[in-house]
Amino acid sequence: MDTHRQIRRIGFIGLGIMGRSMAGHVLAAGHELWVYNRSRDKADELIGRGARWCDSPGELAAACDMVITIVGYPSDVEQVYLGDGGLVERAAPGTLLVDMTTSSPSLARRIAQAAQARDCAALDAPVSGGDVGAREARLSIMVGGDEAAFQRALPVLSCMGKNIVRLGGPGNGQHTKMCNQIVIASTIVGVTEGLVYAQRAGLDPTTVLQAIGGGAAAGFQLNVLGPRIVAGDVAPGFFIEHFLKDLGIALGEAAQMGLELPGLTLARSLYEKMAGRGFARDGTQALFKLYQG
Ligand code: NAP
Protein backbone atom coordinates (compact mmCIF):
# COMPACT_ATOMS: atom_id res chain seq x y z
CA MET A 1 0.00 0.00 0.00
CA ASP A 2 1.21 3.51 -0.80
CA THR A 3 1.34 4.86 2.74
CA HIS A 4 3.16 7.97 1.55
CA ARG A 5 0.46 9.19 -0.82
CA GLN A 6 0.13 12.82 0.09
CA ILE A 7 -3.21 14.04 1.38
CA ARG A 8 -4.28 17.05 -0.63
CA ARG A 9 -7.86 16.45 -1.67
CA ILE A 10 -10.26 15.54 1.11
CA GLY A 11 -13.78 14.24 0.62
CA PHE A 12 -16.51 14.62 3.24
CA ILE A 13 -19.79 12.69 3.30
CA GLY A 14 -22.57 13.50 5.80
CA LEU A 15 -23.26 17.18 6.39
CA GLY A 16 -25.73 17.03 9.27
CA ILE A 17 -25.50 18.55 12.75
CA MET A 18 -21.97 17.21 13.23
CA GLY A 19 -20.56 16.87 9.71
CA ARG A 20 -21.36 20.38 8.54
CA SER A 21 -19.23 21.97 11.28
CA MET A 22 -16.47 19.35 11.01
CA ALA A 23 -16.15 19.73 7.22
CA GLY A 24 -16.11 23.50 7.70
CA HIS A 25 -13.02 23.19 9.92
CA VAL A 26 -11.24 21.02 7.34
CA LEU A 27 -11.98 23.66 4.68
CA ALA A 28 -10.94 26.52 6.96
CA ALA A 29 -7.59 24.79 7.56
CA GLY A 30 -6.84 25.26 3.84
CA HIS A 31 -7.58 21.77 2.46
CA GLU A 32 -9.26 21.21 -0.89
CA LEU A 33 -12.69 19.83 0.01
CA TRP A 34 -15.11 17.66 -1.99
CA VAL A 35 -18.54 17.04 -0.44
CA TYR A 36 -21.53 14.73 -0.82
CA ASN A 37 -24.70 14.42 1.26
CA ARG A 38 -28.04 12.64 0.80
CA SER A 39 -29.83 16.01 0.76
CA ARG A 40 -27.86 18.39 -1.40
CA ASP A 41 -29.08 21.62 0.22
CA LYS A 42 -27.03 20.87 3.36
CA ALA A 43 -23.89 21.41 1.24
CA ASP A 44 -24.85 24.92 0.06
CA GLU A 45 -23.00 26.83 2.73
CA LEU A 46 -19.76 24.82 2.24
CA ILE A 47 -20.00 25.14 -1.55
CA GLY A 48 -20.37 28.89 -1.05
CA ARG A 49 -17.06 28.78 0.82
CA GLY A 50 -15.25 26.89 -1.95
CA ALA A 51 -16.07 23.18 -1.46
CA ARG A 52 -16.90 21.15 -4.59
CA TRP A 53 -20.00 18.96 -4.91
CA CYS A 54 -19.89 15.31 -6.04
CA ASP A 55 -22.99 13.42 -7.17
CA SER A 56 -22.19 10.14 -5.40
CA PRO A 57 -19.85 8.56 -2.83
CA GLY A 58 -18.04 6.77 -5.69
CA GLU A 59 -17.41 10.00 -7.62
CA LEU A 60 -16.08 11.58 -4.44
CA ALA A 61 -13.82 8.61 -3.66
CA ALA A 62 -12.29 8.73 -7.12
CA ALA A 63 -11.45 12.44 -6.68
CA CYS A 64 -9.88 12.33 -3.21
CA ASP A 65 -6.81 11.16 -1.29
CA MET A 66 -8.74 10.90 1.98
CA VAL A 67 -12.48 10.48 2.60
CA ILE A 68 -14.21 11.27 5.90
CA THR A 69 -17.76 10.13 6.61
CA ILE A 70 -20.20 10.93 9.41
CA VAL A 71 -23.62 9.69 8.36
CA GLY A 72 -26.50 8.38 10.49
CA TYR A 73 -26.78 4.61 11.02
CA PRO A 74 -24.66 1.52 10.39
CA SER A 75 -26.90 0.80 7.38
CA ASP A 76 -25.89 4.19 5.91
CA VAL A 77 -22.21 3.44 6.57
CA GLU A 78 -22.53 0.04 4.90
CA GLN A 79 -24.22 1.52 1.84
CA VAL A 80 -21.69 4.36 1.45
CA TYR A 81 -18.62 2.11 1.91
CA LEU A 82 -19.57 -1.32 0.67
CA GLY A 83 -22.49 -0.63 -1.69
CA ASP A 84 -22.21 -0.87 -5.48
CA GLY A 85 -20.16 2.08 -6.72
CA GLY A 86 -19.36 2.95 -3.11
CA LEU A 87 -16.19 4.24 -1.48
CA VAL A 88 -14.26 0.98 -1.28
CA GLU A 89 -15.04 0.03 -4.88
CA ARG A 90 -14.13 3.42 -6.36
CA ALA A 91 -11.22 4.60 -4.18
CA ALA A 92 -7.78 4.60 -5.82
CA PRO A 93 -5.04 2.51 -4.12
CA GLY A 94 -3.56 4.37 -1.16
CA THR A 95 -6.76 6.28 -0.34
CA LEU A 96 -7.38 6.77 3.37
CA LEU A 97 -11.00 6.18 4.48
CA VAL A 98 -12.11 7.46 7.90
CA ASP A 99 -15.58 6.75 9.28
CA MET A 100 -16.56 9.06 12.14
CA THR A 101 -20.18 7.86 12.38
CA THR A 102 -21.12 6.06 15.61
CA SER A 103 -21.51 2.57 14.14
CA SER A 104 -20.89 -1.06 14.98
CA PRO A 105 -17.41 -2.47 15.71
CA SER A 106 -18.02 -5.49 13.48
CA LEU A 107 -18.92 -3.31 10.49
CA ALA A 108 -15.76 -1.25 11.09
CA ARG A 109 -13.71 -4.46 10.92
CA ARG A 110 -15.44 -5.55 7.69
CA ILE A 111 -14.75 -2.18 6.09
CA ALA A 112 -11.09 -2.27 7.14
CA GLN A 113 -10.70 -5.73 5.56
CA ALA A 114 -12.44 -4.70 2.35
CA ALA A 115 -10.31 -1.53 2.13
CA GLN A 116 -7.12 -3.49 2.68
CA ALA A 117 -8.06 -5.87 -0.12
CA ARG A 118 -8.22 -2.81 -2.42
CA ASP A 119 -4.87 -1.49 -1.17
CA CYS A 120 -6.54 1.28 0.82
CA ALA A 121 -6.59 1.93 4.58
CA ALA A 122 -9.69 2.47 6.75
CA LEU A 123 -10.00 3.85 10.26
CA ASP A 124 -13.04 3.93 12.54
CA ALA A 125 -12.92 7.28 14.34
CA PRO A 126 -16.18 8.10 16.12
CA VAL A 127 -16.40 11.30 18.12
CA SER A 128 -17.72 12.70 21.38
CA GLY A 129 -18.34 16.30 22.37
CA GLY A 130 -21.73 16.94 20.80
CA ASP A 131 -22.89 19.72 18.52
CA VAL A 132 -20.93 22.21 20.64
CA GLY A 133 -17.69 20.21 20.37
CA ALA A 134 -18.14 19.94 16.58
CA ARG A 135 -18.75 23.68 16.22
CA GLU A 136 -15.77 24.57 18.39
CA ALA A 137 -13.41 21.89 16.92
CA ARG A 138 -13.01 20.40 20.39
CA LEU A 139 -14.16 16.83 19.73
CA SER A 140 -12.70 13.76 21.37
CA ILE A 141 -11.86 11.30 18.59
CA MET A 142 -11.50 7.57 19.32
CA VAL A 143 -9.59 5.77 16.61
CA GLY A 144 -9.36 2.10 15.67
CA GLY A 145 -7.04 0.89 12.91
CA ASP A 146 -3.51 0.70 11.67
CA GLU A 147 -0.91 2.97 13.35
CA ALA A 148 0.55 4.21 10.03
CA ALA A 149 -2.93 5.15 8.77
CA PHE A 150 -3.61 6.89 12.10
CA GLN A 151 -0.44 8.97 11.73
CA ARG A 152 -1.46 9.98 8.19
CA ALA A 153 -4.93 10.99 9.37
CA LEU A 154 -3.78 12.89 12.46
CA PRO A 155 -3.13 16.32 10.89
CA VAL A 156 -6.64 16.33 9.38
CA LEU A 157 -8.33 14.94 12.49
CA SER A 158 -6.59 17.69 14.46
CA CYS A 159 -8.67 20.28 12.57
CA MET A 160 -11.79 18.84 14.22
CA GLY A 161 -10.72 17.60 17.64
CA LYS A 162 -8.44 18.21 20.57
CA ASN A 163 -8.26 14.80 22.23
CA ILE A 164 -7.38 12.19 19.61
CA VAL A 165 -6.52 8.71 20.85
CA ARG A 166 -5.81 5.46 18.98
CA LEU A 167 -7.06 2.40 20.85
CA GLY A 168 -5.78 -0.47 18.73
CA GLY A 169 -6.98 -2.22 15.61
CA PRO A 170 -10.14 -1.87 13.50
CA GLY A 171 -13.37 -1.69 15.55
CA ASN A 172 -11.71 -0.48 18.75
CA GLY A 173 -12.67 3.14 18.08
CA GLN A 174 -16.31 2.03 17.94
CA HIS A 175 -15.92 -0.13 21.06
CA THR A 176 -14.54 2.93 22.89
CA LYS A 177 -17.43 5.06 21.68
CA MET A 178 -19.77 2.42 23.17
CA CYS A 179 -17.99 2.92 26.53
CA ASN A 180 -18.71 6.63 26.13
CA GLN A 181 -22.40 6.03 25.37
CA ILE A 182 -22.74 3.62 28.31
CA VAL A 183 -21.42 6.36 30.63
CA ILE A 184 -23.70 8.99 29.09
CA ALA A 185 -26.82 6.80 29.24
CA SER A 186 -26.99 6.59 33.03
CA THR A 187 -25.62 10.13 33.43
CA ILE A 188 -28.42 11.81 31.47
CA VAL A 189 -30.99 9.88 33.52
CA GLY A 190 -29.32 11.19 36.69
CA VAL A 191 -29.14 14.78 35.41
CA THR A 192 -32.82 14.71 34.43
CA GLU A 193 -33.94 13.25 37.75
CA GLY A 194 -31.78 15.73 39.72
CA LEU A 195 -33.42 18.67 37.94
CA VAL A 196 -36.96 17.24 38.21
CA TYR A 197 -36.31 16.79 41.94
CA ALA A 198 -35.04 20.41 42.23
CA GLN A 199 -38.24 21.73 40.71
CA ARG A 200 -40.45 19.54 42.91
CA ALA A 201 -38.53 20.70 46.00
CA GLY A 202 -39.31 24.33 45.11
CA LEU A 203 -35.67 25.21 44.28
CA ASP A 204 -34.64 27.49 41.44
CA PRO A 205 -33.14 24.99 38.96
CA THR A 206 -30.77 27.54 37.43
CA THR A 207 -29.28 28.27 40.84
CA VAL A 208 -29.10 24.52 41.53
CA LEU A 209 -27.12 24.11 38.29
CA GLN A 210 -24.78 26.87 39.44
CA ALA A 211 -24.29 25.15 42.78
CA ILE A 212 -23.77 21.57 41.61
CA GLY A 213 -22.28 22.32 38.19
CA GLY A 214 -18.88 23.03 39.72
CA GLY A 215 -18.76 19.97 41.97
CA ALA A 216 -18.45 16.24 41.53
CA ALA A 217 -21.55 16.07 39.32
CA ALA A 218 -20.05 18.42 36.70
CA GLY A 219 -19.80 17.29 33.09
CA PHE A 220 -21.23 17.80 29.60
CA GLN A 221 -24.62 16.28 30.40
CA LEU A 222 -25.15 18.53 33.46
CA ASN A 223 -23.36 21.69 32.34
CA VAL A 224 -24.38 21.80 28.67
CA LEU A 225 -27.67 19.86 28.59
CA GLY A 226 -28.82 20.90 32.10
CA PRO A 227 -29.53 24.52 31.06
CA ARG A 228 -31.41 23.24 27.97
CA ILE A 229 -33.57 21.06 30.27
CA VAL A 230 -34.29 24.04 32.57
CA ALA A 231 -35.21 26.19 29.54
CA GLY A 232 -37.48 23.42 28.15
CA ASP A 233 -35.36 23.49 24.97
CA VAL A 234 -35.67 20.12 23.23
CA ALA A 235 -33.98 21.11 19.93
CA PRO A 236 -31.64 18.28 18.87
CA GLY A 237 -27.92 18.55 19.49
CA PHE A 238 -28.06 14.75 19.50
CA PHE A 239 -31.20 13.00 18.23
CA ILE A 240 -32.93 10.50 20.54
CA GLU A 241 -33.23 8.16 17.54
CA HIS A 242 -29.42 8.17 17.16
CA PHE A 243 -28.96 7.59 20.90
CA LEU A 244 -31.29 4.58 20.69
CA LYS A 245 -29.18 3.27 17.78
CA ASP A 246 -26.08 3.53 19.99
CA LEU A 247 -27.72 1.93 23.03
CA GLY A 248 -28.83 -0.96 20.81
CA ILE A 249 -25.29 -1.48 19.48
CA ALA A 250 -23.82 -1.31 23.01
CA LEU A 251 -26.36 -3.76 24.45
CA GLY A 252 -25.83 -6.12 21.51
CA GLU A 253 -22.05 -6.08 21.97
CA ALA A 254 -22.44 -6.54 25.76
CA ALA A 255 -24.77 -9.52 25.22
CA GLN A 256 -22.15 -11.13 22.96
CA MET A 257 -19.64 -10.74 25.82
CA GLY A 258 -22.11 -12.25 28.31
CA LEU A 259 -22.21 -8.90 30.13
CA GLU A 260 -25.34 -7.53 31.83
CA LEU A 261 -25.62 -3.75 32.06
CA PRO A 262 -28.79 -2.88 34.03
CA GLY A 263 -28.17 0.90 34.00
CA LEU A 264 -27.89 0.88 30.21
CA THR A 265 -30.96 -1.35 29.90
CA LEU A 266 -33.00 1.06 32.02
CA ALA A 267 -31.85 4.10 30.02
CA ARG A 268 -32.82 2.36 26.78
CA SER A 269 -36.29 1.52 28.08
CA LEU A 270 -36.85 5.20 29.03
CA TYR A 271 -35.70 6.41 25.61
CA GLU A 272 -37.84 3.78 23.88
CA LYS A 273 -40.82 5.29 25.70
CA MET A 274 -39.78 8.71 24.41
CA ALA A 275 -39.59 7.42 20.85
CA GLY A 276 -42.96 5.68 21.30
CA ARG A 277 -44.48 9.04 22.25
CA GLY A 278 -43.19 10.67 19.06
CA PHE A 279 -40.09 12.40 20.46
CA ALA A 280 -37.43 10.47 18.48
CA ARG A 281 -36.27 13.62 16.64
CA ASP A 282 -35.91 15.65 19.85
CA GLY A 283 -32.55 16.04 21.55
CA THR A 284 -31.58 13.56 24.28
CA GLN A 285 -32.15 16.23 26.96
CA ALA A 286 -35.91 15.99 26.23
CA LEU A 287 -36.06 13.02 28.63
CA PHE A 288 -37.56 15.39 31.24
CA LYS A 289 -40.86 15.19 29.30
CA LEU A 290 -41.35 11.63 30.64
CA TYR A 291 -41.46 13.01 34.18
CA GLN A 292 -44.14 15.57 33.32
CA GLY A 293 -46.80 12.85 33.21
P1 NAP B 1 -27.59 14.12 11.21
O2 NAP B 1 -27.81 15.57 11.49
O3 NAP B 1 -28.77 13.26 10.89
O4 NAP B 1 -26.48 14.00 10.06
C5 NAP B 1 -26.27 12.86 9.28
C6 NAP B 1 -26.07 13.32 7.85
O7 NAP B 1 -25.67 12.23 7.05
C8 NAP B 1 -27.38 13.88 7.25
O9 NAP B 1 -27.13 15.13 6.64
C10 NAP B 1 -27.77 12.81 6.25
O11 NAP B 1 -28.44 13.29 5.09
C12 NAP B 1 -26.42 12.24 5.86
N13 NAP B 1 -26.56 10.86 5.37
C14 NAP B 1 -27.16 9.81 5.99
N15 NAP B 1 -27.08 8.73 5.23
C16 NAP B 1 -26.42 9.09 4.11
C17 NAP B 1 -26.05 8.40 2.93
N18 NAP B 1 -26.33 7.09 2.77
N19 NAP B 1 -25.39 9.08 1.97
C20 NAP B 1 -25.11 10.39 2.14
N21 NAP B 1 -25.45 11.10 3.21
C22 NAP B 1 -26.10 10.45 4.19
O23 NAP B 1 -26.86 13.45 12.47
P24 NAP B 1 -25.64 14.00 13.37
O25 NAP B 1 -26.19 14.48 14.67
O26 NAP B 1 -24.75 14.86 12.57
O27 NAP B 1 -24.94 12.60 13.70
C28 NAP B 1 -24.20 11.90 12.72
C29 NAP B 1 -23.56 10.67 13.36
O30 NAP B 1 -22.68 11.09 14.42
C31 NAP B 1 -24.54 9.70 14.00
O32 NAP B 1 -24.07 8.38 13.85
C33 NAP B 1 -24.53 10.11 15.47
O34 NAP B 1 -24.89 9.05 16.32
C35 NAP B 1 -23.09 10.52 15.65
N36 NAP B 1 -22.82 11.52 16.70
C37 NAP B 1 -23.66 12.58 16.88
C38 NAP B 1 -23.37 13.50 17.89
C39 NAP B 1 -24.27 14.69 18.15
O40 NAP B 1 -24.15 15.27 19.26
N41 NAP B 1 -25.12 15.09 17.23
C42 NAP B 1 -22.24 13.35 18.68
C43 NAP B 1 -21.39 12.27 18.44
C44 NAP B 1 -21.69 11.35 17.46
P45 NAP B 1 -29.85 14.08 5.16
O46 NAP B 1 -29.45 15.51 5.29
O47 NAP B 1 -30.51 13.75 3.88
O48 NAP B 1 -30.58 13.54 6.37
Last residue of a domain, one of 169, 185, 206: 169
Closest ligand 1 atom number to CA of residue 73: 32
Whether residue 16 is found in the same domain as residue 46 = yes
- The ligand 1 site (C-beta within 6 Å) comprises 13-19, 37-39, 42, 70-72, 76, 79-80, 101-102, 127-128, 130-131, 237-239, 242, 246
Question: In the prediction, which pLDDT does 3 show?
Answer: 55
Last residue of a domain, one of 169, 195, 210: 169
Task: Give pLDDT tens digits for 251-280.
Answer: 999 999 999 999 999 999 999 999 999 999
Q: Kindly write down the DSSP assignment for every residue of 208-237, as one continuous string.
A: HHHHHTTTTT-SHIIIIIHHHHHHT----S
Assigned domain for 247 exists: yes
How far is the centre of ligand 1, averaged over its atoms, from the C-alpha of 171 (Å)? Answer: 19
User: Which segments of 29-165 does DSSP mark as H helices, in order?
Assistant: 44-48, 57-63, 74-82, 87-90, 105-117, 130-135, 147-157
Question: In the prediction, which pLDDT does 5 show?
Answer: 73
CA distance 139 to 93: 29
Whether residue 214 is found in the same domain as residue 84 = no
Rounded percentage of the chain residues whose pLDDT exceeds 90: 97
Indicate if the pLDDT at residue 97 is higher than 70. yes
Whether residue 33 is found in the same domain as residue 137 = yes
How far is the centre of ligand 1, averaged over its atoms, from the C-alpha of 167 (Å)? Answer: 24
Cβ–Cβ under 8 Å, residues 138 and 106: no
Alpha-carbon separation of residue 16 from 21, 99, 175 (angstroms): 8, 14, 23
CA-nearest residue, atom 1 of ligand 1: 16
Indicate if the pLDDT at residue 215 is higher than 90. yes
Active site residues: 177
For residue 64, count CB atoms less than 10 angstroms from its CB and return exposed for 0-12, middle for 13-18, buried for 19 or more.
buried
Closest ligand 1 atom number to CA of residue 103: 32
Task: Give pLDDT tens digits for 115-149.
Answer: 999 999 999 999 999 999 999 999 999 999 999 99
Instruction: Provide the domain limits for residue 282.
Output: 175-292
How far is the centre of ligand 1, averaged over its atoms, from the C-alpha of 54 (Å)? Answer: 18
Whether residue 228 is found in the same domain as residue 269 = yes
Closest ligand 1 atom number to CA of residue 80: 18
Last residue of a domain, one of 124, 146, 169: 169
How far is the centre of ligand 1, averaged over its atoms, from the C-alpha of 115 (Å)? Answer: 22
Phi/psi at 128 (nearest 5 deg)?
Answer: -140, 150
User: Residue 92 carries which DSSP code?
Assistant: P
Question: In the prediction, which pLDDT does 251 show?
Answer: 98
Query: How many separate domains does the chain show?
Result: 2
